[in-house]
C-alpha cells in the first residue's frame, strides 16, 4: 500500500530553494518537505505539485513551481541547482534572483567541472559546493518521480558543505563529507561515461549483459581511469571491472538520464560526461581513441534526427 504524506513547513530551518524540479530536484524537494523544510521550487514548467514514489511512500510536495524569475522571490540560504549541465545558462536568471551574498549553491549535477561551469552565472562570490549524487531517480510518464535506491550525496569537506549538510540533516538523505572528493567524483564520472553506451544503443542496463558490449565498456573505462588518475584521482586497476559489474547487476530495465534525454529528443550531456575524458586526455598527452569515438557519436546523437 502506498501512503501519502503532505507535511508542513518548519520555521526553524534555513530557507532552501531548488532550481530544476526534475528527477533529482523532485527527490531532494520531497525529502526536504518530508522533514518539514518546504523549499522554494523554481523551474521552466508550471506545476501545482511534485510527487515522489519511494517504495510504499508517496510524497506530495505542494507547489507552485515558480517559472518567472523576474517576480520578486526571497533569497535562499542554500540553493540546490538540479538542472542538467546543458541547462545551467538557462537557469542563470534564477541564480541571480535567488542568490544573496551569503547563499551557498549546491550543484546536483554530473561531471567534475561544476564549480567552473556554475560560477559565471551567479551574481556574487558565492560558495559553490559540487555534489556526487549516488541515488537513481527516474521520471515516470505520469509526471511522478520514482526513487530506486537509498538517497545519498557526497560533498567535499570544504567551506559551505556544512550548511548544505545541515539543510539535509533531518531528512532521509545521507550526506557524506569526503576528504578525497576528487576520487569519488571521478569514480561517479566513469559510471556516467559508461552509461553513454545506453544512449548510443537505445537500450537500458540489460545491454551490458552482452559480452562484446562488456568488453568495449571495460576498455573504455580503462581509458577513463588513466585520465582520472592524471587528474589526481586514486582509482585502482580494479575500478573498471567494479563499475562494469555494477551495471551488470542492475535490473535489465534500469534506465539513465542520458538515455531518457535521447528518448525525449533533448540535448545530451555528452560533453561533461564523455567529452571531458577526451579533452583532459589531450592535456595530459594520454591517448583516448575509444573516448574520442564515443564522444563524436554522442555529440552527433545529441543533434537529433536528420
**pLDDT single digits (tens) 242-266:** 999 999 999 999 999 999 999 999 9
Q: Is 231 helix (H, G, I), strand (E, B) or coil?
A: coil
- Between CA 244 and CA 216 the distance in angstroms is 10
* pLDDT for residue 271 is more than 90: yes
Confidence of residue 159 (pLDDT cuts 50, 70, 90): very high
pLDDT tens column, 37-70 = 999 999 999 999 999 999 999 999 999 999 999 9
* pLDDT for residue 2 is more than 70: no
The pLDDT, as a whole number, for residue 73 is 87
The continuous run of DSSP H or E covering 128 comes out as strand 127-130
Q: For the chain, what's the residue count?
A: 306
Grid coordinates of 4: 501519502
- Between CA 69 and CA 91 the distance in angstroms is 9
* pLDDT for residue 11 is more than 60: no
Looking at the DSSP assignment, which residues form a beta bridge with residue 25?
Answer: none
Dihedral sign, Cα of residue 67, residue 112, residue 259, residue 2: negative
Confidence of residue 10 (pLDDT cuts 50, 70, 90): very low
The pLDDT, as a whole number, for residue 13 is 66
The pLDDT, as a whole number, for residue 198 is 98
The pLDDT, as a whole number, for residue 6 is 36
Residue from 33, 188, 262, 273 carrying the catalytic annotation: 188
The phi, psi pair for 168, rounded to 5°, reads -105, 5
Determine the longest span between alpha carbons in the chain, in angstroms.
56
Grid coordinates of 160: 559551505
* pLDDT for residue 8 is more than 60: no
Active site residue 84: no
pLDDT tens column, 95-117 = 999 999 999 999 999 999 999 99
Tell me the whole-structure pTM to 2 decimals: 0.90
Torsion of CA 229, 235, 241, 247, to 10 degrees: -100
Amino acid at each position: 500500500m502506498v501512503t501519502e504524506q503532505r507535511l508542513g513547513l518548519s520555521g526553524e530551518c534555513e530557507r532552501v530553494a531548488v532550481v530544476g524540479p526534475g528527477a533529482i530536484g523532485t527527490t531532494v524537494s520531497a525529502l526536504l518537505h518530508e522533514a518539514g523544510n518546504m523549499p522554494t521550487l523554481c523551474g521552466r514548467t508550471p506545476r501545482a505539485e511534485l510527487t515522489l514514489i519511494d517504495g510504499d511512500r508517496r510524497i506530495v510536495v505542494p507547489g507552485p513551481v515558480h517559472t518567472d524569475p523576474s517576480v520578486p522571490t526571497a533569497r535562499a540560504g542554500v540553493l540546490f541547482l538540479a538542472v542538467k549541465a546543458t541547462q545551467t545558462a538557462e537557469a542563470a536568471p534564477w541564480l541571480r534572483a535567488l542568490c544573496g551574498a551569503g547563499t551557498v549553491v549546491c550543484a546536483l549535477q554530473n561531471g567534475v567541472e561544476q564549480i567552473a561551469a556554475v560560477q559565471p552565472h551567479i551574481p556574487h562570490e558565492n560558495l559553490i559546493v559540487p555534489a556526487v549524487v549516488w541515488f537513481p531517480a527516474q521520471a515516470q510518464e505520469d509526471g511522478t518521480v520514482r526513487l530506486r535506491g537509498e538517497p545519498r550525496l557526497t560533498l567535499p569537506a570544504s567551506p559551505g558543505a556544512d550548511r548544505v549538510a545541515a539543510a539535509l540533516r533531518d531528512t532521509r538523505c545521507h550526506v557524506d563529507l569526503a576528504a578525497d572528493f576528487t576520487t569519488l567524483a571521478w569514480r561517479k564520472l566513469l559510471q556516467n561515461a559508461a552509461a553513454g553506451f545506453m544512449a548510443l544503443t537505445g537500450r537500458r542496463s540489460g545491454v551490458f549483459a552482452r559480452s562484446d558490449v562488456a568488453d568495449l565498456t571495460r576498455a573504455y573505462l580503462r581509458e577513463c581511469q588513466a585520465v582520472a588518475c592524471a587528474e589526481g584521482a586514486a582509482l585502482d586497476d580494479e575500478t573498471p571491472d567494479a563499475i562494469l559489474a555494477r551495471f551488470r547487476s542492475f535490473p535489465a530495465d534500469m534506465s539513465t538520464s542520458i538515455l531518457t534525454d535521447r528518448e525525449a529528443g533533448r540535448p545530451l550531456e555528452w560533453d561533461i560526461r564523455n567529452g571531458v575524458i577526451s579533452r583532459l586526455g589531450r592535456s595530459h598527452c594520454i591517448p583516448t581513441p575509444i573516448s574520442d569515438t564515443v564522444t563524436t557519436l554522442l555529440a552527433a546523437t545529441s543533434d537529433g534526427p536528420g
